[in-house]
Homo-oligomer: A and B are copies of this chain.
Amino acid sequence: QNTGIEKSSTDSTSSNKTPTIQGISDGSLSGLSERIDVNFLLRSSVDFPSGASNQASVNLNEARMELRGDVTPDLSFRIRYRLNRSFAQNSLDNAPGAVDHANLTYRFGTGKKWHLTAGKQSASVGSWEFDKNPTFEYQYTEYVNRQLNLFLLAMKLGYDVTENHTFQLQLHNTSNSNFNTIYNTTGYNTDGLRPSKTPFGLYVAWLGNLLDEKWQTFYSYNISQFARGKTDHAVSIGNQVVLDRFKAYLDLQSTNMSVDYPNIGSPAVNTFMAPTPGFTPVFLQDINYKTAVLRVDYEFIPKWFVTAKGFYETASHRKDSEIGDNFREHTGLLAGLEYKPIASQEMRLFSYYYYNTSQYNNAVGVSNPNQKLHLFSVGVLYFVNAL
């Protein structure tokens, strides 16, 4: 029975719910370990990548500290930061990339069905891939890794319709850096675009438990603005199945970006356009990104797990038929084996193989060679609940 994984493996959504412990006798030491969690997230592996310029290495893949607590039944806080990122603050939000969470949640109203979360927090995006605790997710789609603004300053309002259905509204910064910083980093021409006066976005999300919590839904819609007068739209549909010894998620998403500030598709188009006289690199406008990702975990004999993950992602630029649909395709396949020697502890020895390719099509394909990566990895992960 893999109940051990359930508590720690879902990450962001769990903090939206009402506190597990209702009867907190304030200040009483007997409840210390119930009131507070101190966690340490560790994953370290020996990685052997293919490619002429890649060196094998032992890596600190994940190292994050977490402190969270229920101070009163109405009020909780959460802090989580990475030990391997700079703590220098970003230009727009005054928060560093190292900090995932620095927020408080206040519950109010009849039956404490409403909650407000303020501070740095995870995006309310319908992605079970992102929702999984990073200790346990070896390789990510570009959707999670590069396209989304995962951890952002926001004010989130949630409402528990029933115990199994929650709705969320999240007002957030579109990007954590300001307009000028992003253009200075890439060196791109602004192409006549101006910074939005209110570079905000809004997530609308539904989190549901169906069929006795065996089927979990996380659906979201996002509207946001980066440049003045330019609006982005995104839909994410996440479904997860959790059985006794089997777990799987399937996430689907489609995003229309008026300005490609995540800069995933633009470099290939800029390379293609470079020979044009007078051309300067820009963020592509009116780009569409799509992702489908599936992960399956199965405990085939007690303590032993197989895991498999596959994803397919596309970038399209329909306005320009020469560049056109699916001008960039990004594919990944992962197959791994895990061994969990101690039943009570989320410590696993693992090994996996990962294959990843970026392929360029249509006009863009000529000037952009396809890219491939093979990676073999063997290591250990541990979600430590220190307190």
Contacts and interface: CB of A to CB of B under 8 A. Distances in A.
A199 interface: yes
A118 interface: yes
B347 A104 contact: yes
Interface residues of A, number: 84
Nearest to A74: B342
A351 interface: no
A144 B219 CA distance: 47
A178 B44 contact: no
Contacts of A72: 342, 344-345
A385 B69 CA distance: 10
Contact of A79 (B44, B65, B88, B342): B65
B154 A56 contact: no
A11 interface: no
Given A36-B386, A77-B384, A102-B42, A199 B56 contact: yes
A262 interface: no
A102 B377 CA distance: 19
Contacts of A120: 44, 60, 63
A26 B56 CA distance: 38
A60 B92 contact: no
Contact of A88 (B46, B85, B347): B85
Nearest to A196: B55
B173 A77 contact: no
A155 interface: yes
A59 interface: yes
A172 B69 CA distance: 37
Contacts of A84: 87, 89, 94-96, 99
Interface in A346-385: 347, 379-380, 382, 384-385
B33 A198 contact: no
A133 interface: no
Given A40-B67, A85-B87, A58 B102 contact: no
A100 to B, nearest CB: 11
A84 to B, nearest CB: 4
Contacts of A341: 106, 108
A32 B27 CA distance: 11
A60 B104 contact: no
Contacts of A69: 384, 386
B178 A42 contact: no
Given A87-B87, A89-B84, A173 B104 contact: no
A147 to B, nearest CB: 20
A274 interface: no
12 contacts: A32-B387, A42-B104, A58-B200, A59-B94, A60-B119, A63-B99, A69-B386, A71-B386, A83-B99, A84-B94, A104-B382, A106-B347
